[in-house]
Amino acid sequence: MPTYRHPGTVITDHRFRVPLDHADPAGERIEVYAREVVAAGRERESLPWLLFLQGGPGGRSPRPVGRDGWLDRALDDYRVLLLDQRGTGRSTPADRHTLPLRGDAPAQAGYLAHFRADSIVRDCELIRRELLGEAGRWSLLGQSYGGFCTLTYLSYAPEGVREAFVTGGLPGLRSTPEAVYRAAYPRVQRKVEGHYARYPEDADTVRAVVRHLREQDVRLPGGGRLTAEAFQALGIMLGTGSGSHTLHYLLEDSARSGASGFSDHFLAQVESHLSFAARPLYAVLHESIYGQRSVSPHGTGWAAQSVRAEFPQFDADRADDAPVLLTGEMIYPWMFATDPALAPLAEVADLLARREDWPDLYDPGRLARNDVPVAAAVYHDDMYVDTDDSLATARSVRGLRTWVTNEYEHDGLRVSEGHVLDRLIRMVRGEL
């Protein structure tokens, strides 16, 4: 286990061999990587463990340099484990290069069916027993999708959990994929309208960009096609605290360079926000995180695309002069045609969208009897996770306390310099 030092921290690499399919423990195994972080000078102390579950799906764990952000607060009390969930980061990769080695599209889809929260939690349980022993319990910190995983953990294996903190990630326990997106489109519309109220000139800029994209075939530096619908997907930026300002600065650079089209600088910025090259599983598995056989027995079925027809105001070609609405955290089938990182996975994604009989991820009965202390930050009008769903779930989990705030957006854990985590820790301890 390699160990090295950063300013104020000691870091140890861990690699674990886990079953691809936990129902077949003697079958194929894959590797899961995790990074242990402890405050310098405390590496020999018997500190409680805090497992961090990253947002996503398909997001690797943070790469800290010293005691930065929320990690600084966590290291006051814990030995932290930053998990690269299966298929991400330094764990066995799953992307357009490695997946074809599995065989044809149905074989690849069958492989990826084991990459949801249920498998991630079972990985964590094997890791817990290896690091802490059978009787050891650790704390959980779940950000966004990591919060979804935390609720799965409390449903599947609460005996391994000492306490849990959730930031922007309380899922609807019984929400269908269609219901998720019916709630999401109005939230996104409010965020876009708020952006245009803040930067009125951006409405004309977006309309001009969309008009140009309808008339010209525009390619991003990496070869992907920038369509009007792809450009609308930049609205995903509006769910973070500084996202509106970042989007405004991006749009400032959209002035076209004569007949040649947009500048490379502008197109490079757009590509950095739209490309899934660094996180293909986010796109491939995104809707599957809402699949549960008892809730949606017929699968997820490209729910964001099918529900979009119910919200014609998001049509970029509206006949009226209303501002063009951007979209948010939605994955559409056409993304697998315009993004070179996703194109080889188009059939795989379609098979997953049509897959039926996804195992349930949550056990409402067990959560109603929960005895693990849980504190959750719920961000008022969170663009990515529905606040009403989050509060309904909070009421359904015994012993779960919420802090509802509009001081932060969805990225509050990352940008609050430890304030969000500190408040949740004090809530669990009964100090607030």
Instruction: Give dist(CA 178, CA 406) in Å, integer.
Output: 26
Query: What angle, rounded to 10 degrees, do the helices at 177-198 and 387-396 form?
Result: 130
Task: Say which of 119, 390, 410, 416 is annotated catalytic.
Answer: 410
Query: What angle, rounded to 10 degrees, do the helices at 243-252 and 201-215 form?
Result: 60
Alpha helices in 222-334 (DSSP H): 228-232, 243-252, 264-274, 280-285, 303-308
Strands 3-6 and 9-19: antiparallel
The tokens describing 341, both together, are 């990182």
Alpha helices in 242-398 (DSSP H): 243-252, 264-274, 280-285, 303-308, 335-338, 346-353, 364-368, 387-396
410 catalytic per annotation: yes
Q: What is the DSSP letter of 93?
A: B
Task: Say which of 61, 144, 288, 390 is annotated catalytic.
Answer: 144
357 catalytic per annotation: yes
Phi, psi of 10 (to 5 degrees): -120, 130
b/e code 289-314 from CB counts within 10 Å (16+ = b):
bbbbeebbeebbbbbbbebbeebeeb
Number of residues that make up the chain: 432
How buried is residue 22: exposed, middle or buried, by Cβ count under 10 Å (0-12/13-18/19+)? middle
The tokens describing 16, both together, are 């674990």
Task: Say which of 357, 380, 381, 388 is annotated catalytic.
Answer: 357
144 catalytic per annotation: yes
The tokens describing 406, both together, are 């509009």
The tokens describing 168, both together, are 């922007």
Which residues participate in catalysis according to the annotation?
144, 357, 410
